Structure 1
Amino acid sequence: MARLIYLGLMSLDGYIADRDGNFDWAEPDAEVHSFVNELMRPAGTHLLGRRMYEVMAVWDHPEDFGEIPGYIQDFADLWKAADKVVFSRSLQDVTTARTRIEREFSADAVGRLKAGASRDLAIGGAEIAGEAIRAGLVDEFQMFLSPVAVGGGKTFLPADVRLRLELLEVRRFGNGTVFLRYANRTE
């Protein structure tokens, strides 16, 4: 069965965006970005909330970035090759290829998608990931801890869940970022 993986860049105090919605403090350098690419390579489908989709949609047109290094083009290619499911009640249309809208998050439907998938699924966006976490669907957490504290904002994990995690991997990067990979052992 495919795994459902929640990957995110976050501050040391657990936020993926600060109080103003900014996350520029977590921008990965070449080393971190290349590592993210390798983690994303097995993902055949991305499950996204509306806001995360709107942030990520730019990757369908990397030519708009101007001249880009190979690791950025690689990420764009991975994004464009994957299927995308956007969970949104308000989004009217999608601007990216291989993308469909689902109006409601359904744990049963996501469970069936996961069971029938031949490649891993990635989930992005704190709210939609929170729903999947509460439903017990997330198999793995992949966290990049940036060496900053932002003091508030949108948290990586929902406040109303209890998780039992098994540490699978730790990696330290030259810019001070630390990668942590955990299996979900919640029962």
Structure 2
Amino acid sequence: MAKLIYMNNMSLDGYMEDERGAFAWFPIDDEVFAFQTELVRPVGTFLYGRRLYEAMAVWETDPALAAKSDLMAGFASAWQAASKIVYSTTLTAVSTADTRIERRFDPSAVRGLKAAASSDLMVGGANLAAQAFDAGLIDECELFILPIVVGGGRPGLPTGMRAELELIEERRFRNGVVHLRYRPLGQ
């Protein structure tokens, strides 16, 4: 069975966006970006909320982005190779290939996706990830902790629930970013 992985960049105080909705404070460098690309490369399907999908779609809709460097071209290629499912009640059309819209998150449908998939799935967006956590669907968390405190904003992990996790891998990067890989206990 394929795994459902939640990957997120977050500040040291646990936020993926600051109070203005900005995330440009991420000190991602080539070393971190290359590592993240290798994590994304084997993913067969991305599950996104509308906002994250719209932010990520540029990896297919803006060819100039991939043309900036070999690293960016590699990420664009890996991202484009995967299917995308966008959970949205407002989105009427998608701008990328191999993408479909679902109006609501259905845990049983995601269980079916995991059972039928030949490669892992990745969920993105805190709200969608919270629903997947709540349904017991998350198999791993790939968290990138950035060396900055932003003081508030959108939390990178679900709030209002408890989940015990087991650390299974860690890595420190030269720029101070720390990668932590967890799996829920009992899995």
What's the TM-score once normalised by structure 1's chain length? 0.97
Alignment of 1:16-27 (within 5 A): 16-27=16-27
Shift in Å, 1:140? 0.2
- What RMSD, in angstroms, separates the aligned Cα atoms of the two structures? 1.3
* Correspondence 1:45 to 2:29: no
Mapped contact 1:47–1:86 kept (Cα < 8 A): yes
> What is the match of residue 171 of structure 1?
171
Alignment of 1:25-174 (within 5 A): 25-65=25-65, 67-174=67-174
* Inter-CA distance 162–66: structure 2 relative to 1 (3 Å threshold): closer
Give the total of aligned pairs: 187
SS at match of 1:97: coil
Shift in Å, 1:62? 4.4
- Runs of 4+ aligned residues of structure 1 deviating over 3 Å after TM superposition are none
Mapped contact 2:17–2:153 kept (Cα < 8 A): yes
> What is the match of residue 185 of structure 1?
185
For residues 42 and 138 of structure 1, what CA distance do their matches in structure 2 show? 17
For residues 113 and 67 of structure 1, what CA distance do their matches in structure 2 show? 33
CA deviation vs aligned residue, 1:12-57 (integer Å, no higher than 9, x gap): 0000001111001115210000000111111000000000001000
SS at match of 1:22: coil
Letter in 1 for 2:155: T
* Inter-CA distance 53–112: structure 2 relative to 1 (3 Å threshold): same
Q: Which of 62-71 and 118-127 deviates more? A: 62-71
Mapped contact 1:62–1:76 kept (Cα < 8 A): no
What's the TM-score once normalised by structure 2's chain length? 0.97
Gaps of 5+ in 2: none
Mapped contact 1:164–1:186 kept (Cα < 8 A): no
Mapped contact 1:62–1:73 kept (Cα < 8 A): no
For residues 40 and 54 of structure 1, what CA distance do their matches in structure 2 show? 18
Mapped contact 2:59–2:66 kept (Cα < 8 A): no
SS at match of 1:144: strand
CA deviation vs aligned residue, 1:43-84 (integer Å, no higher than 9, x gap): 000000000001000000342337411111100001111000
Identity of aligned residues (%): 50
